[in-house]
Amino acid sequence: MRRVGLIAFLALVAMIPLSPPFYVTMGSYIGLYTMVALGLVLLTGVTGLTSFGQAAFMGLGAYTSAVLTTTLSWSPWLALVIALLLTIGVALVLGAVTLRMGGHYLPLATMSWGISLFFLFGSLPELGGQTGLSDIPALAIAGVELRDERIYYYLIWLVCLAAMWGTVNLLDSREGRAIRALKGGLHMAEAFGASGLRLKMVVFVYSAVLGCLAGWLYAHMQRFVNPSPFGINVGIEFLFMITIGGAGSIWGSVIGATLVSFLKTALQGILPKIIGHTGNFETIIFGIMILMVLQWMRGGIWVFVERFLPPKPNKDVGEASDLPVRTQPRRGEPLLRVDGIRKEFGGLVAVKNVSFEVAAGEIVGLIGPNGAGKSTTFNLISGELPRTDGNVYLGAEKISGLRPSRIARRGLSRTFQHVKLIPGMTVIENVMLGAYLRTNEGFFSAGFRLNRTMEKRVAAEAARQLKRVGLEESMHVPAGSLPLGKQRIVEIARALCSDPILLLLDEPAAGLRYKEKQELARLLEQLRSEGMTVLIVEHDMEFLMNLVDRIVVMEFGKKLAEGLPHEIRSNPEVLEAYLGGV
Ligand SMILES: Nc1ncnc2c1ncn2[C@@H]1O[C@H](COP(=O)(O)OP(=O)(O)OP(=O)(O)O)[C@@H](O)[C@H]1O
């Protein structure tokens, strides 16, 4: 059914040039807008970064080529290279300034970038001011000028379909999974070794490049440019498109671009007749539509359409050769050494010079009353928080001061207190994210689908880990559809998929029912018997007492006691602090 739909879509795209010129022109515009919206789907829908500046990138591509080909009589193809380089440069600078900041800085920065470029286009006499630049040459391939609108339509859709294909491939890859993880916050992607900032930058530049390409094609199709198609209002329109079409899917960009283009043309004809004035009244209708979509079709039209389609084919988990594995430390060897670690939050000392060790093959529990500093200690070990003082060593290597992605590279893997999975992605894909550091397939091989053998190996490894934790049968269901207990186990499978030497579990039993806790305990015992080392922060005393080899107790940021479970159980200080003297 999905394949039939795809073939029907391709056939429709191929047949549009047989229709009257109005539809061919409309089809060309839809192709251009789809390209820009596609970049925005990746940037906003998938990665969670809102940009109002995509029309400005389109303008940058269009104006660069317009100036170089008219004033300097350069070839449009050479102008394309310069336009792309300029766009990449601008996106890198803009991204470097804003992507680090998070929050509303990116939308605000892209908004101001969109407005400034629009005024620049309109003010500089070299760019033709508000009148724009005309006499832009037609594109030529092998000496043949593409003046026929139908041929140009095919060129636009060739580029657009290639971009769609590349984007789909990218999302179904090692880097794509890490990009999809970014929406859940930087911590998840970084915990598996991905550099969140680098990924955001790549997505930002990629979406800018798509905008630039669309702008370049636009300039040589119209053979004339002026500032109005690249203003901030058009940037907002692109956001309309993906919100209405579906920001989470590449098909959302096609649906949104098509719907908004047709509606805009229709409304621009009808509304002035009804209202009796000319103006951009269609914006009001778009606003109402957005509200309706958000109210009744959250996720956009594509999400609604997808309900009627058969599920996507399952991930191919056939036979494949094993991924390389790291040498595990020998049982009993010192593995983790926390040495006088300290964390101050302003005047509050959350962790006061705490020291303890974990040997290979042990399960060690870190307990303490609320606010004792357990999670802070945990985050100091995993690198999520910078320490004020002290050090952490993994084996012989100092890991304190390193970024979480660097620490993950050295063999430390973790789960989260509040489960961090990508709910719309299948269980196996979530687990595959854990293997990020075990392969090095890049964007190029992903985009051109040259990564299939490695993808099969990663899928086979993820399937193996799911079998190890007993979740084999849930492999192909969306992770968000599982009960909390199973989601926590998926997180453990994902951590195992990174082939760790040390597993950090942050309150794995929180929110679980009795039976789920028993299953979790069985799994952890099995992992210990396989030689895995585990440091576990947990509130549930009974759960820990029957499971762990040793316990470290914290209170008010300090280490209160350390010992075997039965020693801790009868330690008066611990009973006083942790159990209120019961
Ligand atoms: N980012 C932060 N900024 C300021 N104070 C913080 C921050 N994170 C934690 N704290 C404070 O540090 C202390 C220790 O908190 P932490 O979360 O490590 O305790 P915990 O033992 O894990 O508690 P719980 O079991 O309730 O999760 C608390 O007083 C907490 O309010």
Q: Which residue has the tokens 């509050």?
A: 348
Rounded to an integer, the average pLDDT of 339-356 is: 96
Residue 538 Cα to ligand 1 midpoint, Å, equals: 14
115-139 tens-digit pLDDT = 999 999 999 998 999 999 999 999 9
What residue owns the CA closest to ligand 1's atom 16? 373
The reported pLDDT for the residue numbered 578 is 67
Separation of CA 170 from chain center: 11
Rounded to an integer, the average pLDDT of 401-420 is: 93
The reported pLDDT for the residue numbered 343 is 97
Segments of 291-395 assigned E as strands: 334-345, 348-359, 363-367, 389-394
165 close to 159: Cβ distance less than 8 angstroms: no
- Mutate which of 375, 381, 417, 544 to test ligand 1's pocket (most atoms within 8 Å of Cβ)? 375
Residue 61 banded pLDDT, cuts 50, 70, 90:
very high
What residue owns the CA closest to ligand 1's atom 24? 370
CB-based burial, 101-136: b 16+ in 10 Å, e otherwise = eeeeebbebbbebbbebbeebbeeeebbeeebbeeb
Find the length of the chain.
582
| 3-state SS, residue 326 | coil
Q: Which of ligand 1's atoms lies nearest the C-alpha of 373? A: 18
- Return the CATH number of the domain spanning residue range 2-306: 1.10.3470
Q: Is 345 in the pocket of ligand 1 (CB under 6 A)?
A: yes
- The CATH class, in words, for 333-411+502-582 is alpha beta
Give the domain ranges of the chain. 2-306, 333-411+502-582, 421-500
Task: Say how far apart CA 468 and CA 484 lie, in whole Å.
Answer: 19
Beta strands 550-555 and 363-367: pairing type? parallel
- Host H or E run for residue 302: helix 301-306
Task: Say how far apart CA 180 and CA 429 lie, in whole Å.
Answer: 11
Task: Say how far apart CA 278 and CA 203 lie, in whole Å.
Answer: 39
The reported pLDDT for the residue numbered 188 is 85
Strand partners, 503: 413, 534
Q: Is 371 in the pocket of ligand 1 (CB under 6 A)?
A: yes
- Mutate which of 343, 374, 379 to test ligand 1's pocket (most atoms within 8 Å of Cβ)? 374
Q: Is 386 in the pocket of ligand 1 (CB under 6 A)?
A: no
Q: What is the average pLDDT value for the chain, to the nearest integer?
A: 92
Residue 376 Cα to ligand 1 midpoint, Å, equals: 6
Rounded to an integer, the average pLDDT of 438-465 is: 94
Q: Which of ligand 1's atoms lies nearest the C-alpha of 417? A: 27
Residue 374 Cα to ligand 1 midpoint, Å, equals: 8
461 close to 435: Cβ distance less than 8 angstroms: yes
| Structure token digits, residue 488 | 């926590």
126 close to 71: Cβ distance less than 8 angstroms: yes
The dihedral region occupied by 378, where left means phi > 0, alpha psi between -120 and 50, and beta the remainder, is: alpha
pTM (predicted TM-score) = 0.91
Rounded to an integer, the average pLDDT of 553-570 is: 93
| 3-state SS, residue 107 | helix
What residue owns the CA closest to ligand 1's atom 4? 345
What residue owns the CA closest to ligand 1's atom 28? 371
The reported pLDDT for the residue numbered 582 is 47
The reported pLDDT for the residue numbered 20 is 96
Question: Does residue 516 or residue 224 have the better pLDDT?
Answer: 224
Q: Is 375 in the pocket of ligand 1 (CB under 6 A)?
A: yes
DSSP-derived secondary structure letter, 225: B
| 3-state SS, residue 382 | helix
Question: Does residue 181 or residue 316 have the better pLDDT?
Answer: 181
Share of the chain above pLDDT 70, in %: 99
Residue 87 Cα to ligand 1 midpoint, Å, equals: 44
Share of the chain above pLDDT 90, in %: 77
| Crossing angle (nearest 10°) for helices 2-15 and 149-171 | 160
